[in-house]
Every structure is written in C-alpha cells, then in structure tokens.
Amino acid sequence: MKMRAAILERLCAPLVLDEVEIPALECGQVLVQIHRSGICGAQIGEIDGKKGPDKFLPHLLGHEGGGVVLDIGPGVTQVKKGDHVVLHWRKGAGIHARPAKYAWDGRVVNSGWVTTFSELSVVSENRVTPISKDVPFEIAALMGCAVTTALGLINNLAQLKIGQSLAVFGCGGVGLNVVQGGAMVSADPIIAIDIYDHKLDLARQFGATHLINSARADVREEVRKIVGPAGVEVFVENTGLVRLIEWAYELTANAGKTILVGVPKYDEDITIHSLPLHFGKVLTGCEGGATDPTVDIPRYLRLYQRGKLKLDNLITHHFAFQDINSALDEVRGGAVGRCVLSMN
C-alpha cells in the first residue's frame, strides 16, 4: 500500500512530494488517515537545519494533525478503527512504539513517533488521543501543539496568577494562545509584541491589553512604560531570535519568569546578566508546556465546544497538501497565525 508524503531529503531545500510504501503495523503502532495538519515553527527549524546536521535524512515531518484511525497494530488499546484522533508529539497514554520506516524507490525514509505531512501515517499509540467526531479536523490539528503548548505553559510553567503581568514576543499560533491563556486566568496587563499589525489585531481579539509593533517602536522603552521599572512577571519568547531572548530576560522582573518557546540556531548563544537567577529570577525553556495530551486535550476541547476557548480565528492560512512548500514559505515569512494543510 502506498501513500503520498512530503519528504525532507536534504536540509535547506523544498520537501519532495512522492509516494512511499506503508509498512506492516508493529506492536503499538496505529495507521491514521490524516485529514488536516498544522505547520509549526519546529518544522521550519528542521528543514533549515536549525539544530545542526540531521543524521536521519531522508525523513518525514509534521507533529500536529487531525485524522481517522484506519487500523491498529498488536497491543493497541487506547484507540480503535474509526476513531477520530488528535496526533500530537507529546507522550500520552498507550504504548511507546518503534518509529515506522517507509520504503521509497529502494531507499528507507525515517519517521518519528508521529508525522503528519502525508496522506496516511504510522504513529505510536501514545501519540494519538481519541476525540468526539463533531470536532473539526483543523481544530483537532491545533490541539497537537499550538494550543496545548501555550495553555500548558500558562498552567504548568508560568503558573500565572490573577493580576500578574504577561508579555509575549511573537504572536503566531503559540503566542496567540499564550495571550488567550493569560486572559483566561485574568493576567493584567497582557502585552503582545510582533512586527505585523494584523497579528497584533488578532492578539487583541485573544485578550491582549497592550500592543507593541517592534518594527516601529522601542520595545524596552514601551514595555517599561506599561509595567514600570520593576519589569514583567512572566515574559514568553516565541521567536528564537537571540536579541529578543536577551531583551525578554532583561525586561523580566527580578522574581519573574522568562520562558523560551522559540529555539535559537544551534551555533548562536545568548548573553545575560545571571546574578538575578540566584535570587528568584527564572530563565527556562518550554517543552510542549509539560502537557499531558490524554488529560489536557479533552479538557481544552470542552472549553472550545462551550465557546470559552477561541480557536477558529487562529487559523489564518489554508493550503492544499500539494502546495506544502508554498505553505512553508508563508510560515517562514512570519505573517501567519496558524497555517493548516488539507490532505484531501
């Protein structure tokens, strides 16, 4: 059985759209028909070699999707044929299966425990969570990373309290949901920072109280006008740009938290004044918001279905699967909230 997939054959090059052979399912593996896939900044980083040489080439990509279970391998108990599922990169309940390998013109194409840039995907049982069949597939895709990372960050890492101040560098899919999560727990003020006015307009819709276009204003001066010299209690940095990471840390209060979602290029380092770290200031990275998909995804979907979690406006761009390289260019350009691929 064959399927069409987008293959990362070499770094810093367009993905190759071609057919690959689907392997027989092994213990703990699940075959999913992908209906929608999101594009995360992490995929751009993989394609562009942001973390350095890639020893797994060629391989498949994508880590947030919505689809339908077509078949299950031995030992699978968490899902069954016909289930609608969220595909996510964080570990959930179930078997941690061996990543699948696909055949491609006599070559082996590697994959991770979950991939979504393909019509079908063999994934590990613990990377899928069943959901109600009335949840749109594109909303399911958002639950794979953008929403869960952001809300998990607010709940688990920032542990943001009512009335605490929040600033967010970068208002893409994750950043907008950090803003929304901050609004849901009554943070104040909530400062959204980006270079695109339309993304700042979205941030206001999601709950930002103050907007800063960093292409036109001095960010440090504007933030200090809003929160005073003491600084921001929680500052979330999504871009991975070294200068902005340093600014976020500088503008964080002495007992505050700087949380990094964006990842700098592997050969770039940040420079900070570290003394405040010894007296309560926190600088930390974010790994999916420490989300537990099995528990958190159903909870967040209930909020969405009850109108308490805004997600529909988060998707600013739609592309057909065959146009995936154009979609990646749009995401790479930075003007996208969240981009969703339609696989059928």
* CA 169 to the chain's CA centroid: 15
Give residue-wise pLDDT tens across range 292-324.
Answer: 999 999 999 999 999 999 999 999 999 999 999
Distance CA 211, CA 23 (A): 50
Residue 337 gets which letter from DSSP?
Answer: S
Domains recognised in the chain with CATH numbers: 2-144+311-342 (3.90.180.10), 146-289 (3.40.50.720)
Give residue-wise pLDDT tens across range 31-64.
Answer: 999 999 999 999 999 999 998 999 999 999 999 9
Q: Which of 63, 64, 3 is nearest to 33 (CA)?
A: 3
- 3-class SS of residue 331: helix
Distance CA 106, CA 208 (A): 52
Q: Bridge-partner residues for 190, per DSSP?
A: 166
- The per-residue b/e assignment along 201-234, b for 16 or more CB within 10 angstroms, e otherwise, is ebbeebbbbbbbbbeeeebeebbeeebeeebbbb
Give residue-wise pLDDT tens across range 71-85.
Answer: 999 999 999 999 999
Distance CA 147, CA 152 (A): 8
Name the pTM for this structure: 0.95
Distance CA 128, CA 278 (A): 40
Q: Which amino acid is at 311?
A: L
Please state the rounded mean pLDDT for residues 86-115: 97
